[in-house]
Each structure stands twice: as C-alpha cells, then as structure tokens.
Structure 1
Amino acid sequence: MRLFIEPSDVWLFRDGKPFTAGSDHRAGSRFPPSPTTIQGALRSKVLLESGVSLVAFANREAAAQTIADDIGWPGEQKLPFRLQGPFLARRLFPGGPVERLYSAPADLALTKHELRKEQRFLYLTPAPALSIRSDLEALKLEDELRLLWAEGEERLTMVEGWLTQKEFGWYLTDPERLRARLNRRQSKRCRGLISEKSLFVRESRVGIALQEQARRPTEGMLFEVEYIRPRQCVGLLVEIGPAEGDIAPAIAAAFGQVGSHGTMSLGGEGRLARWEVISEDITPAPLIVERYFKVVLLTPALFKQGWRTDWNKLFGGSVRLHAAAVGAPETISGWDVARNREKAARPTVPAGSVYFFEKLDASPLQLREAFTNDDAHLGFGQFAIGAWHV
C-alpha cells in the first residue's frame, strides 16, 4: 500500500537538537522527516480509526489486543508491519501521477573556479593509487580506505538538490549520461538539479512561552520555530507493507483501496495532512551486483559503529569497503508518548551517502531489505545499488 501525503497547512518536523526552555531559542525542522515520525503518525491514525480507547491501548488492556496485533503495543521495538520511506515526491499537476525525488548523491560534485563562471558536474571516485592506513587502533578503520578524488585542479563544492526518478535511474546505470545532462543545463545557466526552494520553503515564526496557569507571557522566553511549507503538488511518499503474510486488517480498514483519501495529523503540533492511496511503483529498478558496486542511501541509516559496521555480516558475503562519501550525521530523537519522556538521541548516516564496495568472491551476496543495523522495519536504511566503473 502506497500513500502520497500532502500538507493542508505548514508542517513542523523537529530536528534532533535540544530545544528546552531557557537553554535554546530556536527549533529547526528537517525535511523529509525521520521514518520514526511517519510510523508514529500512521499508527496513531489507525488507532483512532479503530475506535479503541487510547487509555486501554496505553495500559495494554485486553480490549486493545486486536489493534495491538496489527500495529504493535506502545514502546515495542518490533512492529507487525514494515515501512519504506518517507521519500520526497511531487505531482507535475494536480491529480497527476506521483514522481519520487532523490537527494543528490554525495559523490556528485560541482567545480568552483574563482575566475571563471563556468561550472561543471563530476563524480568523486576512489583514487586508484592513493590510499590511507591508520595506526589508531581505537578507530578500527578498514586496512585500505581510499581517498575520494576527481581529476583536475579546480576547487569542488558539494551538490545540494534533488534528482527526478529518471535521472536517478541514469545515475545508477549510466552515470555519464546523467553528468552530461546536468552539464548541459548548467551551461544554459539553468540549475542542474531541482532546488530545495522549488519544492518547499522554510518559514520561521517567533513565539513567547506562556505561564502554565496564568497563561501570561514569561519574561525572556522568546523562541523561534522553523516550519516547512511544501509547494503545490509536493508531498511525502510512504509504502506500508506487512512484516509477513497479508497487510493487517486495521491498516487496510483505515486507508482503504487505491484512490481512497482522507486526512490525518502529522508532525509537531499535529498539523493537518491529506493522504491518498496510489498505485504508482516507486521502487528503483534493481541492479545486478557486479564485482565493483556502490550503495546509495535513500533514507537515513543506523550503524553500530557510527558510519560503518561489519560489512560481511550485513551483506551475507565477503566484501571490501574501498571508500565512502558520507554526509554530516543527522540526529534523530522525538517524544515517547507511552513513557511520557524524550526519546534518546541517535546519530544517523544521512540519505545520499555513498559507499564503494568490492565483492571478493563469486558467491552471491545475501542482500537485505535495508542497509542498516537497526529499525529496518521503520524505513531506515533504504538503499539502491549503482554501477562503479573502475
């Protein structure tokens, strides 16, 4: 079941930074939001549609057992369904087909010359002759991690923006075709990638804390909150599937069949969102794993060792990590409704990060559904495999 979710108001998706009265004055938003935000909103929607008492559900009473079988009890780590997403998506016109968008991969760079205005796109690749070795035992780095580089003496800047579904397919299978297309756009003074501003706007609003009982302003307690306002026809794409067997009856009843639509609360302050069940296939085309390949994260990932893990165990085969283009870590947190407290903050590897691997033997890799150690069922670690031409 695939849902396209659009805003009826601005959205608030807090980042993982602390925002406690008196300690900080600004709350930022991340977009797309964390998978944990989406699963919480969907479970709340299904629970409300079921008619089960929230108190009975929170207290794990027998009256709530049926709905708990479909969406899990509060605070449970393993849920009876799986999510993919959330992904940024858009319609080119109201009521049209939904197109999934992809964050610019971290190995895509743009030249920056101080004298010439011309810029061109290129790819960072593992350097063939340069390698680094670490004698820092505590880091436990791979023996031969390569530097990422690009030919030429021009300065490089990282790329920000979004690729269309067709362009991302080229990135995976025919990267030079994508690079040529982006450079043609750049030469015409058009932005090569879809810009953030063309998809959504960040709005900051100022408020003041109120006294709990008197409801009067508290001196010195000004704060600023950043909201997200997606453009028309821009929203989020989510896929809900069963952990095993068929999709849960309560989920099917809450969202219905293709073409069904409704409203739900989403994100901070319970802002209103419109959802619709769609039929479009939004999964990137699978690619056969050659000896050399790269993995691109489509949603944030959680690894045991920061940005890395036991790759052989994750792939179920023998592989070697040659290099990685990893973005700055994003912290996820949130509010634990069942325990009425903040969730522990966890750093994630952001979407768009790229890992370059070599398959070391002829045995097939046992690729998992997600490229992450934790919370794969919530949508973390969604990935695509692309060609790495050595």
Structure 2
Amino acid sequence: MNYFLLSPRDPLIIRSSRPFEAISDADAAKFPPPSTIAGALRNVYARSQGMNFDNKAHIKQLFECSVTGPLAVKIPKDTSVNELSEANILVPKPTDAQYFRFEGETIIVGMQPLELGEEDGCDLPKGLLPLFLSQNINGKPVKGPRWWALKDLLAWRTGNVPSFKDVVKNGWTPTEPDVRTHIERDNKTLNSVEGQIFQTAGLTMWQQPDCAASFPNEKVSILAGIDGDVTLKAMNLGGERRLAEIQPCELWPTCPSDHGQDMIKAGGLTLTFLTPTIFAQGWRPKWINEDSLIGTPPGCQTLQLKLKAAALERWTPQSGWDLAINKPRATELMIPAGATYWFEIVPGTATKQELARLWMAHLCDGTQHNSNGFGLALPMAYSWHETQD
C-alpha cells in the first residue's frame, strides 16, 4: 500500500448543492467520503499507468485496486511532509464521547455499556446492552471539535480522558465554510434563468485560529493509501473539478507491539470506525449472528467476538456512479465515522496474530466496500470486569 497526502488548493465541494432557500451552515461543508477518495485516487492511478477508461479489463482492474482511508493530517505552517509524524494524524470524534457544559467549562463525558436493573427495560435487541454516561452530570450537551488527534483517541480508549482544551488544540475545527451562490445563465440572452439558483458550501481545509482577527497557520490535508503507484502531482477532487496536490508519504498509524496481548488480557475490545461504514443489516455487521450476536470478523479464522453494545449516529445516504455500467448506484445506508462497537472475546478463540489482523482493517460487509475504504477500524482493549465493577 502506498500512502499519499492530498492537499486541496481550494475549499472542497462535496455534495453541497442545495436550493437557495436552504440555510447554509457549517454542517453543509462535508469531509469527502471514502468513495470520493477512492474514485479520485483510482483516476490518477489509471492516468499514471496509461490505462484506457474504455477498456473493460482496465476498469475491472481499477475496481479491484484497494484504497484505504481517508483520514486527515494537520500540518503547521512551513512544515514539510518529511517532518510529519503520527502526532499530526486526525481521526473522527468517537461517538461515545460527549461534550457537556458544566460549572462554567466544557468537559468530555464518555458513554459505557452497563447491565440494566431487575425492574428496568429497553427496546434494544436481545443481549445488547444500553449505554449510560460514565458520570452523573447536571449540564447541557454542547458542540465541539468533530476531529480529534489520533493520540487523544488512543488516550481516550485507555481511560485517560483528554481535556476539552487539548482536544480543541490538537484536533481540527474548520474555519467558516466557503458559501457561494450560483445561477444558470442563458447563453443566448446572457441573462440569468429564472428559478435556477443554488448555493454550495465548501469545506475550508484550515484550522480555525484562536483569534477571529488572525489568519490560520495550520492547514489540513487528506491522508489515504492505494495499492498502486501514482506519479502525477495533482488531481481533481470533489465538485467543480477543484485541484488538489498529491504528495507521497510514509505516514500511517502503526500497531503497538503489545496490542493483541492487551486485548486478550482484557477479554474484550472496542472497534472505533475511522471512516463511514456500510453493513448489509443496517447498524449490525452481517458477520454477527442475529440471535447469538457472535461472529468472526473479516480476515480472521478462529477469532470470535460477541457484540455487547454500539454507539452510532443516524445513518446518511451513500450513492455514486457505477463506471462499469455507466449508471448511478443504488442508495445505501452509511454509518457515519466515529461509530463505536463493544465486543467480548469468546474465550479460547483469540490469538495475538488474529487480533493483529483487526488493526486498521476494513470490516464492512462486501469486498468492494472494503476496497473502497469504508469501515476502517481501530481496535482497542476493553475490560468488561472493570466496567461492571
């Protein structure tokens, strides 16, 4: 796998066209989904190799070319690619982390799965545990950064809750979206066409500065990998064929040496999905049995995991254009990035080698979704004994 930094030269337009009457806000500016990055990288890979887009064999080869990511990388001003480290990698905020305003400051409160009392009940599927806040708090939920530094997420998963100030400092809060109003012009009269007006909201790839009057001094690039060689230095990315610079790099999260042993010792693990995920059963992976909630993840042979709980946001639509048949793809349900699933390891089924296969693996249902970069998973140890105590 070869990794690249994709640095947009203008705000990114990702599915943001909307009627003029709609309100444009920060939520309208979207980070590109894996399918967008996969299509763009395969395009430049094909052009680098001189492939013919009318050749069915070449099209088949492109579809089989695996892509991983995208993640994000925060780059301080005047910093070269060679000076970057894993400390610069950004990941989506985990869904089980919530921001609250409490006693005049913003804090981060986690959610954890717990058994219900004898007289309690819920409408979750049988065997699935509900989530509760890890501490009682009399405060209101507030908004905060949607992108965390990878090191803060790793600390969060080991029980070391980062401060909200550190998350803001190390993470990514984009500047205001680049909102533009468009009209359709009649080429004969050169007048605007009545009723043909819409807006786009572009994602600004800069870190919001501390002071509104200052200029951002940290930019954000997209980190992705492809199983092929790309020699071009620029590409089109997103709507309006806006340009992005392509820079090869060696940057990617590395698996700790004792990672598998920690999960075996804990007897459980969490899977945090760093890219949006698509499952055939909606919220539930197809490799998890509906009745027993036990299954073997893709790429593993002996490992068996029992699903205990899940934290995920409301689904979003995912579609696209099928280059092979030259038609739009059917819309699918996409679980937003940051979704977290809790598992118990079935005793006697785990080995360090098996668990190592889960590190930054794609765990969607379907080979093509995994090849497109969906379902990128970060596994971390989780002890059920400590939770219930």
- Shorter-chain TM-score range: 0.7 to 0.9
Structure 1 gap ranges (5+): 73-78, 242-250, 256-260
Cα deviation for residue 102 of structure 1 reads: 1.3
1:97 and 2:72 correspond: no
Is the 8 Å Cα contact of residues 133 and 143 (structure 1) preserved in structure 2? no
The structure 1 residue matched to 2:173, chosen from 196, 200, 206, is: 196
Is the 8 Å Cα contact of residues 371 and 383 (structure 1) preserved in structure 2? yes
Is the 8 Å Cα contact of residues 5 and 248 (structure 2) preserved in structure 1? yes
Cα deviation for residue 153 of structure 1 reads: 3.9
Q: 3-state SS of the aligned residue for 1:44?
A: helix
Is the 8 Å Cα contact of residues 111 and 157 (structure 1) preserved in structure 2? yes
Instruction: Report the counterpart of residue 283 of structure 2 in structure 1.
Output: 307
**Deviations for 1:242-280, whole angstroms, at most 9, x for unmatched residues?**
xxxxxxxxx42x32xxxxx71111111211110110123
| Aligned CA distance change for structure 1 residues 31 and 285 (closer, same or farther; 3 Å) | farther
Report 1:8-19 matches (<5 A): 8-14=9-15
**Deviations for 1:158-192, whole angstroms, at most 9, x for unmatched residues?**
664222232222223x322xx1x415x38xxx947
Amino acid of the structure 1 residue aligned with 2:273: L
| Aligned CA distance change for structure 1 residues 279 and 373 (closer, same or farther; 3 Å) | same
Q: Distance in 1 between matches of 2:337 and 2:142?
A: 14
Instruction: Report the counterpart of residue 107 of structure 2 in structure 1.
Output: 120
Instruction: Report the counterpart of residue 44 of structure 2 in structure 1.
Output: 45
Instruction: Report the counterpart of residue 211 of structure 2 in structure 1.
Output: none
Q: 3-state SS of the aligned residue for 1:230?
A: coil
Cα deviation for residue 123 of structure 1 reads: 1.6
The structure 1 residue matched to 2:224, chosen from 228, 231, 238, is: 238
1:227 and 2:224 correspond: no
Amino acid of the structure 1 residue aligned with 2:84: P
| Aligned CA distance change for structure 1 residues 192 and 219 (closer, same or farther; 3 Å) | same
Q: Distance in 2 between matches of 1:83 and 1:21?
A: 33
Query: Could you tell which deviates more after superposition, 1-10 or 360-369?
Result: 360-369
Is the 8 Å Cα contact of residues 142 and 321 (structure 1) preserved in structure 2? no
- RMSD across aligned positions (CA): 3.2
Amino acid of the structure 2 residue aligned with 1:118: E
Instruction: Report the counterpart of residue 244 of structure 1 in structure 2.
Output: none
Q: Distance in 2 between matches of 1:342 and 1:212?
A: 29
Is the 8 Å Cα contact of residues 301 and 349 (structure 1) preserved in structure 2? yes
1:207 and 2:208 correspond: no
- How many residues in Structure 1 have an aligned counterpart in Structure 2? 340
Is the 8 Å Cα contact of residues 73 and 90 (structure 2) preserved in structure 1? yes
Is the 8 Å Cα contact of residues 25 and 224 (structure 1) preserved in structure 2? no
Q: 3-state SS of the aligned residue for 2:156?
A: helix
Q: Distance in 1 between matches of 2:340 and 2:251?
A: 26
Q: What TM-score do you get using the length of structure 1 for normalisation?
A: 0.76
Is the 8 Å Cα contact of residues 301 and 372 (structure 1) preserved in structure 2? yes
Cα deviation for residue 194 of structure 1 reads: 2.6
Amino acid of the structure 1 residue aligned with 2:182: G
Instruction: Report the counterpart of residue 143 of structure 1 in structure 2.
Output: 127
Q: 3-state SS of the aligned residue for 1:220?
A: strand
Cα deviation for residue 387 of structure 1 reads: 3.0
Q: Distance in 1 between matches of 2:144 and 2:304?
A: 33
Cα deviation for residue 308 of structure 1 reads: 1.0
Cα deviation for residue 25 of structure 1 reads: 9.5
Query: Could you tell which deviates more after superposition, 221-230 or 27-36?
Result: 27-36
Amino acid of the structure 2 residue aligned with 1:371: L
Instruction: Report the counterpart of residue 148 of structure 2 in structure 1.
Output: 163
Is the 8 Å Cα contact of residues 332 and 346 (structure 1) preserved in structure 2? yes
Amino acid of the structure 2 residue aligned with 1:264: M
**Deviations for 1:24-72, whole angstroms, at most 9, x for unmatched residues?**
8979755431111111111221233344454x33xx3xxxx4x446424
**Deviations for 1:290-339, whole angstroms, at most 9, x for unmatched residues?**
31221111001111121113423343644332221111212222334554
Query: Could you tell which deviates more after superposition, 299-308 or 6-15?
Result: 6-15
Q: 3-state SS of the aligned residue for 2:135?
A: coil
- Aligned identity (percent) is 21
Cα deviation for residue 383 of structure 1 reads: 0.8
Cα deviation for residue 214 of structure 1 reads: 6.4
Cα deviation for residue 221 of structure 1 reads: 1.5
Instruction: Report the counterpart of residue 109 of structure 1 in structure 2.
Output: 98
Instruction: Report the counterpart of residue 252 of structure 2 in structure 1.
Output: 281
Query: Could you tell which deviates more after superposition, 373-382 or 91-100?
Result: 91-100
The structure 1 residue matched to 2:67, chosen from 79, 83, 87, is: 83
| Aligned CA distance change for structure 1 residues 384 and 351 (closer, same or farther; 3 Å) | same
1:385 and 2:379 correspond: yes
Q: Distance in 2 between matches of 1:213 and 1:284?
A: 61
Cα deviation for residue 343 of structure 1 reads: 2.8
Amino acid of the structure 2 residue aligned with 1:206: T
